[in-house]
Amino acid sequence: MLGPPPYALTVPTFAFRSLTTLAARAALGGPRETALATLIAVRLAAGAAPPNTLAPALRAARADAARVWLSSVALPATVRTAIGKLVDASAGSDDRTIVAALEKVTDVTAPVLTKGARSELDRLAARFGA
């Protein structure tokens, strides 16, 4: 069998499959909203991670929109605070702040996260050099 033609594009991969699956299968209410909020926040953080860093203005606009959405979601106070800090950090350019906020999100959402979802958050932190 021949390999892919030289003009073929590589197949894109989605970095947060387990987290998305968790959000889809979680019970309605707290666990699902926590998983969805975590997914939104880590996708914003991924936009600030090398090698595909988004423009600062775009990251700031995305963070603003996420804050509006998060204000309508019922989350435990610790989760809301951690997610909010990660959303804010993703709009900035300090990798250490993003990693610290990501680690806090990982800690406070640990009771909800599956092993695969936690691994995805750890891989995202590694993209920042953590």
Mean pLDDT confidence for 44-52: 92
Task: Please report, for residues 1, 14, 42, 114, the alpha-carbon distance to residue 19 in angstroms, rounded to integers and kept in the order given.
Answer: 35, 11, 10, 8
User: Helix H segments across the chain?
Assistant: 17-25, 30-46, 56-70, 77-91, 95-108, 115-127
More confident of the two residues 100 and 50: 100
Whether 9 has a pLDDT exceeding 80, the answer reads: no
Using a cut of 0.85, tell me whether the model's pTM lies above it: yes
Q: How confident is the model at residue 52 (pLDDT cuts 50, 70, 90)?
A: confident
Closest Cα to residue 65, out of 87, 32, 86, 94? 87
- Exposure letters 48-72 (e unless 16+ CB within 10 A, then b): bbeeeebeeeebeebbeebeeebee
More confident of the two residues 29 and 21: 21
Whether 51 has a pLDDT exceeding 90, the answer reads: no
Q: Spell out the domain ranges in the chain.
A: 31-127
Look at residue 10 in the predicted model and tell me its pLDDT: 76
Whether 69 has a pLDDT exceeding 80, the answer reads: yes
Look at residue 1 in the predicted model and tell me its pLDDT: 65
Cβ–Cβ < 8 Å for 69, 43: no
Look at residue 130 in the predicted model and tell me its pLDDT: 67
